[in-house]
Structure 1
């Protein structure tokens, strides 16, 4: 069980990184719209569904981390190519996604 001081420290740390949490939560529909636009754009940029640039590289590691974190967002719209890419990298790395834990 988290202590009050641990919770306060976490909130302060996150506030320092991403700004006021209550304000960001209030604006979540705006952030989700931007995420969906970015996912749609990414769909047109992916070269394959197993490597974003055609050959597996550190770009795929970076992109996988971002997309995996975004898989927790309820309301995100996943274009087919992006979802296939994410599923492929999840299977290859044996790192599960967060779709079943959406916020």
Structure 2
């Protein structure tokens, strides 16, 4: 449980620092991101990978959201280095969607 909490807090810190934002912890986007991170962290420690099934959507989302994807790359690098776990395309896509929502919320 401590490892999961540490991973979640580190990912949140990466997002804060990389995008130079304060996360609105009372927003629905933040709550959804946090819920996703809990399940994501559990998969990292259980070494359970999603199957890559959304390659077409992934390609479009990455092309249209390069800024948000730069944060996903930072997170993926950290996870690979720290936990020897390579994020699948599907996992990157889900992180991208959540980060994009948070960034969109910041600009409103």
Determine if the TM-score, normalized by the shorter chain, exceeds 0.5: no
- Larger of the two Rg values belongs to structure: 1
Relative contact order, higher structure (CA 8 A, sep 6+): 2
Q: TM-score, normalised by structure 2?
A: 0.28
